[in-house]
Amino acid sequence: MSSASLTAPFKYRLQTLLDLKLERKQELQRDLAQRLAELAAEQKAHQELEAARARMEEKLASLKRVPLGMSGLAIQQYRDYLRGLVMDVEAARDAEFSQRLRVQEFEDNVGKARRALAECSREVEVLNKHRDRLEKRFLKEAERKEAADQDEIGSMLFSRGRRSIR
């Protein structure tokens, strides 16, 4: 049995910190996934508002000409209907604009979540590299000690052998 197997196994003194950083990274990954899902929902809502506004504008454009042969009262009612439709289009534009701002806000939140995750990932990577370097150094030192022990054992056996020959 070699003396390296008798040495204590490598223990990383910052393992608790590394474990906390790994948990934080997983938490940030879940947060980013949630923010991406929220952003997708907001983008979908924006697209739906945009499509509704476009349909209203098309309807308004197709109805702008007053049909021939209408009476004065019918023309007035038709114009009132068109004014209402114009107000609906304006309200739809306002809603679309508000939703566009909301989408931008969610995009900003996704960007912040990505940056936080990237920073945490770098911290985990630094700690992993540090742990790997320390472990290599530990193993190298264990090998050096084992080689020194083997040399000492060899020297002792050699000395005993020389003494028995005399």
11-45 residue pLDDT tens: 999 999 999 999 999 999 999 999 999 999 999 99
Residue 44, in any domain of the structure: yes
Note whether residue 163 is domain-resident. Answer: no
Q: Is residue 147 in some structural domain?
A: no
pLDDT-based confidence at 156, cuts 50/70/90?
confident
Residues 6+ apart with CB under 8 A from 146: 2, 3, 4
Domain total of the chain? 1
Band (pLDDT 50/70/90 cuts) for residue 158 is confident
Instruction: Look at residue 153 and tell me if it is in a domain.
Output: no
Segment 59-110, tens digit of pLDDT:
999 988 767 888 889 989 999 999 999 999 999 999 999 999 999 999 999 9
> Domain limits at 51?
17-126
Q: How many helices (H) and strands (E) does the chain have?
A: 2, 0
d(CA 4, CA 140): 10
Whether 58 maps to a domain, the answer reads yes
Q: In this structure, is residue 86 part of a structural domain?
A: yes
Instruction: Judge whether 7 lies within some domain.
Output: no
